[in-house]
Every structure is written in C-alpha cells, then in structure tokens.
Amino acid sequence: MATWRRDSRLTGSQRLLCAGLAGALSLSLTAPLELAAVLAQVGAMRGHARGPWATGLQVWRAEGPRALWKGNGVACLRLFPCSAVQLAAYRKFVILFTDDLGRISQWSSIMAGSLAGMVSTIVTYPTDLIKTRLIVQNMLEPSYKGILHALATIYQQEGFLALYRGVSLTVLGALPFSAGSLLVYMNLEKIWNGPRDRFSLLQNFANVCLAAAVTQTLSFPFDTVKRKMQAHSPYLPHCGGVDVHFSGAVDCFRQIIKTQGMLGLWNGLTANLLKIVPYFGVMFSTFEFCKRICLYQNGYIVSPLSYKLTPGVDQSLKPQELRELKKFFKTRTLKSKKP
C-alpha cells in the first residue's frame, strides 16, 4: 500500500511533527463531513436532515457555524499520542513478523499496520468517545463544557468502563479493514496495468484513496454500532440522540437491522467517503511542505519552496551525522585561520 517512505534525513521528532500537523489540518478542513457522518451513524438527525449538506445546514441553523467543528479539538489533540503509540507498536509487530532473513511479506506488513492502528486506537479510545459525545450534544445547551469536563463527568456519572464503551467493535472492525487493504493491494497491478515500482505520485495517491474507500466501506457497520454505543448515555438529553434501544453490541446490530434494514448499518457512509479525497490531499500536501521546511533547516535543500539539493551535501547522511560533519569542518576552518 502506498505510504510515506521513511526519510532518514528527518529526525523522529520531525517526522512526528510533520505527520501531526498534516493530520490536524486535514481533520480540521474535513470536520463538517465527519460531523455529518457521526450524526447519521448515531441517528441524532434522523427524520430532520438527509445527506451531508442537509445535516450541516441543519446544525448551522440550530447551533451556529462553530458547531460544524464540534469535537474537532479533541480529534486533533489525540493525533500526537495516537501517532506515537502506532509507530512504536508498528515497529514491534514488524520485528515479530520478520523472518530469519530479515524479510517481511506484504500481507504481514499490512497486518502489522492494522494491528498497530488497533493498538493505538484502544490506548487513546476515551478521547474518541469524548469526541462523539461532543459532536452529538447541543452547543447551546451543552452537557460537557470541554474535553476535561467531559472526561471527568463521564467517569463520575458512568464509571471508568464507560470510557471504553464500544471498544470491542474496534477489534472486530480491524478484520474487514485488513481484508480490504489486502484486496486493494493484490489488485493494484491489474488496476493500473503496470508494476508497482513504476506508479506515479498521482497513482499512489489514488491507491491510498481507493484503499481508504474500500476498507472504510467494509468496516463501516462496526463503526456505526461503535458510535451508537459511544453516544448512548442515560445522563444525556434523549439518551445522546441514539435512534435505537439496545442492551449490547450484538443487540445493537440486531435492532438496527430490525428497524432500519441492513443498509442502516451504512448510514453516514456518503459523508465519510466524500471526505477521503480532500482529507488525504490536504494531508499529503501539508506533510510534504512541512518536510521541505525540516529538510531546509537540516541543510539538505537550498530552499523550503523546492526540493533542490544543497550542493556538496551527502544526502545519505543522517541529520546528526551532517551536523557533526559541519561542526568538524567549521572547527577545522577556524584552526586554519589562526596564525
């Protein structure tokens, strides 16, 4: 699957910072579509607005334009710890799946990525639940005043386990997610009628969007049930706006199919798919721009506005090695100037 290649010219903190900023900006720009998807999944707007545009307009009129970004703050804040945990877990899983010759298959690599994503999601799951609660509440009559207040209130009213309500769906949803990733990867050469190592940047971007569309479509029913379980609370007005009554995850599946039909499990999918292209487009472009700034600061390129390499700089050197080399030549030059 097309991913950002690890560039040894960046430090670990720089890579994390670039990825975090790119993720935060892409999340912020597509937040209204995320809000429409979550509200459709929970059922809070059922009967009032149909479609992402109608849902967004309804929220705008009822609560004001700022309401379109409800929950985006906590979504951005969880990016950095989530990315750090995912990177650490991915390295562990890669070592686990690597054979005696130091090789790893594409299937194992996909599995490592899926498992790492699942681990990071579980570790930071309370923030995802809080994001859902902030989205479904009315900003004009809020039950939670902010992230910390939501965390403390849920813990006091519903107990610690309430912060992990629906987490089992994350584990179950990882199975179709991995299967979808493998399905797309195995057919890339047939789709483009050419070898993977010759894909252009546009083709790789299309591969990422295609993979996201397939995997999210396959795992969406699990995400829908998870959102309903996250939003449901007897302490919220109208029980969080959830449109079905259930006693657990399995019963939630049953009630959705009984009241809304099988397609009810995919409510909100349209908004979710609409955000894929702008989300990854903004993410890739922002990451590359931040990367150029870091490469310029590290001394590898002559300007942050282009990828023109700095003359005489060995691009294979790591940032620390390049700094040591520059320090050595600077000291040597100073000594040569002394009488």
Query: Are the beta carbons of 45 and 135 closer than 8 angstroms?
Result: no
Note whether residue 41 is domain-resident. yes
Q: Return the number of other C-beta atoms located less than 10 Å from residue 13's C-beta.
A: 9
DSSP secondary structure, 108-129, as one string: HHHHHHHHHHHHHHHHTHHHHH
The torsion defined by the Cα of 281, 287, 290 and 296, in degrees rounded to 10, comes to: -110
Q: Does the global pTM surpass 0.95? A: no
Residue 112 maps to which CATH number?
Answer: 1.50.40.10
Residue 304 lies in a domain: no
Residue 322 lies in a domain: no
- 213: its two tokens: 């569309």
In a domain, 1, yes or no: no
Please check whether residue 182 lies inside any domain of the structure. yes
CA distances (Å), 269 to each of 213, 218, 225, 233, in order?
A: 10, 10, 13, 24
Residue 276 lies in a domain: yes
What is the residue range of 224's domain?
Answer: 12-298
Give a yes or no: residue 335 inside a domain: no
* Cα 313 to Cα 190: distance, rounded to the nearest angstrom: 40
55 neighbors 283 (Cβ within 8 angstroms): no
pLDDT in tens, the chain (339 residues): 334 457 888 888 888 889 889 999 999 999 999 999 999 999 877 655 578 898 999 999 999 999 999 999 999 999 888 888 988 898 899 888 888 777 888 778 888 888 888 899 999 999 999 999 999 999 999 999 999 999 999 999 999 999 999 999 988 888 888 888 888 888 888 888 888 778 888 888 999 999 999 999 999 999 999 999 999 999 999 888 899 999 999 999 999 999 999 999 999 999 999 999 999 999 999 999 999 999 999 889 988 888 888 888 888 888 888 888 877 777 766 566 655
221 φ/ψ sector (left φ>0, alpha ψ -120 to 50, else beta): alpha
Burial class of residue 4, CB neighbours in 10 A (0-12, 13-18, 19+): middle
How many domains does the structure of the chain reveal? 1
260 located within any domain: yes
